[in-house]
Chains A and B, each alone.
Chain A
């Protein structure tokens, strides 16, 4: 029993108060259905069982699958449908797949270390940023967003991949330590401000901060690691709108305009804008 779908059914509750950090595939998908239904979720000052907020379905349900093994959790998949944009979804998750058929709130995938988060809609501020009490953002895993995001996506991220198909708020990659952010759409707010290391790939137009130094035009084939990243996104079928997908062959035919920065920090990061 390692795949669950949770369909939200409580429009009267105050969704802004629901803490989504417990909605993680790596922990919930190891539970049997009864235990999952009884999992208590905090809403403001109260705790309510998960089954009060969500209808639970399991596409794999069978008598044999009622006792999940820890190994099966490696392939855990949790889908959340029709929920309001909950904060801290996928925080600290280590593996598995979290699919959000809708919007996510703030701090999506905070301090996650592995697995994949896929958001069909929009996400809030600090995607992949630090969890409460942590000074580091995500240190592994992949966050794929088909819509727009709020401010400071990738704030303090250390490792991993964030791919955003829509628009971004203030400085995506702000103070990032390392890792990779891919921006599919126009980015007007100076990505990577105060970044230390890491890579921000811009597949559309971008407004670069003044503290970034232009490093020339590099053939895409001269940076095979970037081709691998695009290929990985191609394999993950991101974004869902195939007309907006960048296929490896197409990217390989172009070039990267390179900026190094942030020179106000240690200047070991890079912003690459694809040119064709």
Chain B
């Protein structure tokens, strides 16, 4: 398959089960919203080494947030609900509570605990920072018509408001494409455009720096204790020394990893990314395929683009 002259490899992106939470973070103005988002999503690239994969789903206008201030919707992914139980309160406590003027709300208030969902204690844990001066307030949610509890923790610029619990659902991590081209600059340009095309789409994030990974990985390694190592089949400097999957003329590859709340969202994001990348002068689009060892969700590139 060719799109604008770029080869679409006959392969699939191999994704795996994760759990996700959505946080709505608000602040006094967009500057502090962006600061809070950047800090909360920092060190949130891959669960290979981070407690969670985190990214901005989209920025919100004051009309879209619970308190009428500018905000952002963040998605955080971990291997399971227990992973989120550690990562979410830690990140909220260290990155959002410390950030001037912020407040945190649940972006999945309709989720109840069960097989398909979980509730993660956030305000319920962080309230103890108030040292007995914390207060709670129950306010009716207009959508569900049920009261939601918020904790008001006194801090030096007023109050840090934090929802008692946030929802978590089964989600999917590791959707991906590999953008392959002649040199670093042209490949980077095409990949950035692909990331820009994914950015406005709902229910997905691209958690790596600027949405792009240069150190794509394969499952396993020759060293004990390493469960991921460099994706040598796509490293141009190893061509001739390992079995390479690079097309002729490809000297640079960048990966976009896409985490999403469902398969449709990831497929839509994959499609948008490929279309945007192929609008540039690239040689091929491929995907991280680990022979089924990594996960059960397979996004076949040619089916996605059909």
Q: How far is the CA of A153 from the CA of B129 in the complex (A)?
A: 33
CB of A108 to closest CB in B, whole Å: 18
- Which one of B67, B135, B140, B158 lies within 8 Å of A219 (CB-CB)? B158
Contact B150 A228 (CB under 8 A): yes
Contact B67 A222 (CB under 8 A): no
CB of A177 to closest CB in B, whole Å: 13
Contact A221 B69 (CB under 8 A): yes
Contact A229 B69 (CB under 8 A): no
CB of B132 to closest CB in A, whole Å: 10
CB of A263 to closest CB in B, whole Å: 15
Cβ contacts A136-153/B at 8 Å (1 or 0 each): 000010100000000000
- Which one of B68, B152, B159 lies within 8 Å of A248 (CB-CB)? B68
Q: Is A38 an interface residue (CB 8 A)?
A: no
- Binding site secondary structure of chain B: strand
Chain A residues, CB < 8 A from B295? none
Q: How far is the CA of A83 from the CA of B28 in the complex (A)?
A: 47
Contact B67 A227 (CB under 8 A): yes
In the complex formed, the residue of A with least CB distance to B132 is A268
Contact B66 A231 (CB under 8 A): yes
Q: Is A159 an interface residue (CB 8 A)?
A: yes
Chain B residues, CB < 8 A from A74? 145
CB of B201 to closest CB in A, whole Å: 28
CB of B215 to closest CB in A, whole Å: 39
Contact A224 B159 (CB under 8 A): yes
Q: Is B161 an interface residue (CB 8 A)?
A: yes
Q: Which of B152-205 contact A (CB under 8 A)?
A: 152, 157-159, 161
In the complex formed, the residue of A with least CB distance to B68 is A248
Chain A residues, CB < 8 A from B157? 222
Q: How far is the CA of A235 from the CA of B152 in the complex (A)?
A: 22
In the complex formed, the residue of A with least CB distance to B151 is A225
Contact B140 A225 (CB under 8 A): no
Q: Is B293 an interface residue (CB 8 A)?
A: no
Chain B residues, CB < 8 A from A231? 66-68
Q: Which of B22-51 contact A (CB under 8 A)?
A: 26, 28
Known contacts A252-B68, A252-B69; is-contact A222 B137 (Cβ 8 Å): no
For B137, B138, B152, which residue has the most chain A Cβ atoms within 10 angstroms?
B137
- Which one of A114, A218, A225, A230 lies within 8 Å of B137 (CB-CB)? A225
Chain A residues, CB < 8 A from B150? 225, 228
Chain B residues, CB < 8 A from A240? none
Chain A: interface residue total (CB-CB under 8 A): 28
Chain B residues, CB < 8 A from A180? 137
Chain A residues, CB < 8 A from B137? 180, 199, 225, 228-229
Q: Is A249 an interface residue (CB 8 A)?
A: yes
Known contacts A142-B140, A222-B101, A249-B62; is-contact A227 B69 (Cβ 8 Å): yes
Q: How far is the CA of A113 from the CA of B11 in the complex (A)?
A: 58
- Which one of A142, A218, A252 lies within 8 Å of B158 (CB-CB)? A218
Q: Is A207 an interface residue (CB 8 A)?
A: no
Q: How far is the CA of A229 from the CA of B135 in the complex (A)?
A: 15
Contact B139 A224 (CB under 8 A): no
Cβ contacts A87-121/B at 8 Å (1 or 0 each): 00000000000000000000000000010000000
CB of B280 to closest CB in A, whole Å: 43
Contact B66 A228 (CB under 8 A): yes
Q: How far is the CA of A225 from the CA of B138 in the complex (A)?
A: 9
Chain A residues, CB < 8 A from B152? 223, 225
Cβ contacts A17-59/B at 8 Å (1 or 0 each): 0000000000000000000000000000000000000000000
For A180, A227, A229, A268, which residue has the most chain B Cβ atoms within 10 angstroms?
A227
Q: How far is the CA of A67 from the CA of B287 in the complex (A)?
A: 57
Contact B158 A222 (CB under 8 A): yes
Known contacts A227-B68, A249-B62, A249-B68; is-contact A197 B135 (Cβ 8 Å): yes
CB of B178 to closest CB in A, whole Å: 43
Chain A residues, CB < 8 A from B26? 224
- Which one of A197, A222, A235 lies within 8 Å of B159 (CB-CB)? A222
Chain B residues, CB < 8 A from A244? none
CB of A175 to closest CB in B, whole Å: 18
Chain B residues, CB < 8 A from A140? 138, 147
Q: How far is the CA of A9 from the CA of B142 in the complex (A)?
A: 35
Q: How far is the CA of A197 from the CA of B140 in the complex (A)?
A: 19
In the complex formed, the residue of A with least CB distance to B161 is A224
In the complex formed, the residue of B with least CB distance to A218 is B158
Chain B residues, CB < 8 A from A218? 158
Chain A to chain B contacts (Cβ below 8 Å), 5 pairs: A114-B147, A219-B158, A224-B66, A224-B69, A225-B150
Interface pairs A-B: 6 shortest CB-CB:
A222-B158, A248-B68, A224-B103, A224-B67, A227-B67, A224-B161
